[in-house]
Structure 1
Amino acid sequence: MTQAMALVLVGVIFGGGGGGAGLYNLLVQLAAIALIAVNASAFVDFLRRSPRYFVVLVVATLLLPLLQIVPLPPSIWRALPGREMVEQSLTLIGRQDEWFPFSLDMRRTAVAFLAMLPPLAVLILARESSAQHRRQFLVLIAMAGALSVLIGLPQLATGNRMFVFFAEAYGSQDLQGTFANHNTAALFLDIALVALICAMPEVRMRPSLVLSAGGCGLLLLIGLFLTRSRSGMLIGVVPFVCLLVRIYFVMAHGVGRKRFGMAMLLSCLGLGCVVWGGAQVDRVQQSFARFENLNDERPAIWSDTRSAIRRYWPVGSGVGTFDEVFQVDESLENLAPHRAGRAHNDYLELTLESGVFGIALLIGWLAVIVLAMLRAVSSRGIIDLAPGAVFVMLFMQSVLDYPLRSQAILCVAGLMLAMIIRPVNSGPTTVRSGRRTEAVGSL
């Protein structure tokens, strides 16, 4: 468990740059490869003891980019949709009869496969976690979020001209922390808020713990506003709902529920006061002012992405190849001084790159996560609500952005999967928290 937590921390600190931060991503991937080599037996045990459907889904996800970089005979790759320009280009240099991979950029596809190794390592190293370990995981995420804000404050004080991790963040007006994209930074702070809410003990909270948790929550909330991310602030409704659900669970089933419920209600009131007071600060007002102008380039990018999808449907162009193939279908009226780089909608980008295969994998992962969420609700375990809330936020931001293209968020997603998947032979375990005993079921 310690190794998994260390890898998540490495991912959060160094893996927030996305596809443009190759060296930082390589550092995270090398750490994951080292842990995979040291814990080879854990991977064998994962294949043997995990639910069959889950193993199949993980293996299929890993195989997709690997199969796409395997060279194919000319008779096959020429018949694939959208390969006409490739054939014409190779014909000009007399290489049209050579073998060519499914992916239109095998290097990017290979990099996409390597990006899956850190979340895979986290998933396998943390999959047999106890309730105590799962609470520790959530505390780690909350502390990492606070660390990101503390790093971001001096960055912001210097106009993001000093202490920045990534070139994309240089000169930004937003709080970046350990991330290059302010939307991803805001999403991570939302995740940290959920982790903080769900990690706190349900009863008998010491005053010092209440004060520490309140201070951490306030720091995360301030950092969220300072990112100036509209999607991040809107997704902030999920942590608030988690807080309300926590109040309901404790008041309905917990011991000492009146005192705890009153404290949580006061926390909600305090949260409202903080939001109102923060709205009076100029920098926070600028964050809210961004909602007055909702016009951006996303709709135009989405329209051209749909055109590209039709070109490569139903098989796609290869994982990670969006930036290479999108330029062909980008319409003249939508041209901008800079490259789109991403579809700014991960569902469209997934469909373009992987076609029906990617859609099938997405449906499979959705089914696994929804099933796990239903189990968590039925178990009435506060800790078990965190993974579902995190995945809801990931799915929400994927409509407007690309959160899972970051090694940091991928590591967090791997940790959340580890929290909801149990070995096939693990029965319900009893976990004692103060005077209350709760059953933690298996999935």
Structure 2
Amino acid sequence: MIALVPLIMVTGSRMGLVVGLIGFSCLIFMRFSRDAGGKGFALSGAMQAGAGALIAAGMAAGSVFLARDKALDRMAAGTENELRMPVWESMLEFIPQYMPWGSGIGSFVPIYQIHEPPKLLIPGYFNQAHNDWIDIALTSGIPGAVLALAALIMFALGAKSALAARGVAGHLRKCGIIVILVLAFASLSDYPLRTPILSALFAIAAVWAWSPETDNTHKRKPEAS
């Protein structure tokens, strides 16, 4: 986990940096959650978490010192040359034209090329909206929005149940909720679930999030006298 800190920073992804912080924060919360026996983690656990945080902070500082902090540089540079926000604004203007059924799944590229403002023309083209939540509204309309809302409700219910779960299964459920949260947040400016490996990870996380609350551990039965 600690080794991921410089890797996140050198990729230059601002959303990667943000969701990395979210993921680390959630894992710290998991580390100090209460176990099945209701006992808090011992001092050694707190020392381990503190040492890990210090090492991660040191590696982050080292990345900055060595001028490898591309993600921080991009965040500090602002959004003067950022095209995503203007693209989203233009999409919000023409989405009503395709209601209530949407423009069709997978139709973003040709639909956006029809409505692309002249001021946003570039030598290349946008292959995705870089915001899957807005893309759902455009391509699948009201049905897609209803399904997305249902998914958010299920996520909220799953998160509430996972927080109350205990034991190994409780940690597994919390881990699934964290993965789903990170991917949902990353979908605000990217399209992680459109990549095969992350869509597979999302499916696994959904199974984790709804795993049985009781451990499937068979206790040894006492022998008959």
Pick one of 125, 134, 142 that aligns with 1:356.
142
- The answer on whether the counterparts of 1:317 and 1:325 sit within 8 Å (CA) in structure 2 is yes
Q: CA RMSD in A?
A: 2.3
C-alpha separation between the residues in 1 aligned to 2:9 and 2:172?
26
- The answer on whether the counterparts of 1:235 and 1:397 sit within 8 Å (CA) in structure 2 is yes
Structure 2 residue aligned with 1:227: 11
Matched, 1:335 2:124: no
Following superposition, the deviation at residue 304 of structure 1 comes to 2.0
Give me the TM-score of the superposition, normalised by structure 2: 0.85
Structure 2 residue aligned with 1:283: 68
Following superposition, the deviation at residue 431 of structure 1 comes to 4.8
- State the Cα deviation string for residues 139-170 of structure 1 (Å, max 9, x = none): xxxxxxxxxxxxxxxxxxxxxxxxxxxxxxxx
C-alpha separation between the residues in 2 aligned to 1:244 and 1:229?
23
- The answer on whether the counterparts of 1:224 and 1:232 sit within 8 Å (CA) in structure 2 is yes
Structure 1 residue aligned with 2:33: 249
- Superposition map of 1:18-417 within 5 A: 217-249=1-33, 253-254=38-39, 257-284=42-69, 286-295=70-79, 296-380=82-166, 381-417=170-206
Task: Give unpaired runs (5+ residues) of structure 1.
Answer: 1-216, 433-443
Secondary structure of 1:276's aligned partner = helix
- The answer on whether the counterparts of 1:308 and 1:329 sit within 8 Å (CA) in structure 2 is yes
Secondary structure of 1:301's aligned partner = helix
Percent identity over the alignment?
24
Following superposition, the deviation at residue 299 of structure 1 comes to 1.7
Closer, same or farther: CA 237–256 of 1 in aligned 2, 3 Å: closer
Give me the TM-score of the superposition, normalised by structure 1: 0.45
Secondary structure of 2:3's aligned partner = helix
The 4+ residue runs of structure 1 with deviation greater than 3 A are 250-256, 426-432
- The answer on whether the counterparts of 1:403 and 1:409 sit within 8 Å (CA) in structure 2 is yes
Larger-gyration structure (1/2): 1
Structure 2 residue aligned with 1:131: none
Closer, same or farther: CA 390–256 of 1 in aligned 2, 3 Å: closer
Secondary structure of 2:130's aligned partner = coil
Following superposition, the deviation at residue 227 of structure 1 comes to 1.0
Amino acid at match of 2:78: L
Following superposition, the deviation at residue 254 of structure 1 comes to 4.2
Task: Give unpaired runs (5+ residues) of structure 2.
Answer: 219-225
- The answer on whether the counterparts of 1:404 and 1:410 sit within 8 Å (CA) in structure 2 is yes
Following superposition, the deviation at residue 303 of structure 1 comes to 2.0
Following superposition, the deviation at residue 411 of structure 1 comes to 0.5
C-alpha separation between the residues in 2 aligned to 1:300 and 1:274?
35
C-alpha separation between the residues in 1 aligned to 2:64 and 2:17?
13
Following superposition, the deviation at residue 277 of structure 1 comes to 2.1
Secondary structure of 1:339's aligned partner = coil
Secondary structure of 2:153's aligned partner = helix
- The answer on whether the counterparts of 1:250 and 1:257 sit within 8 Å (CA) in structure 2 is no
Closer, same or farther: CA 428–247 of 1 in aligned 2, 3 Å: closer
Following superposition, the deviation at residue 356 of structure 1 comes to 0.3
Following superposition, the deviation at residue 230 of structure 1 comes to 0.7
- The answer on whether the counterparts of 2:101 and 2:143 sit within 8 Å (CA) in structure 1 is yes
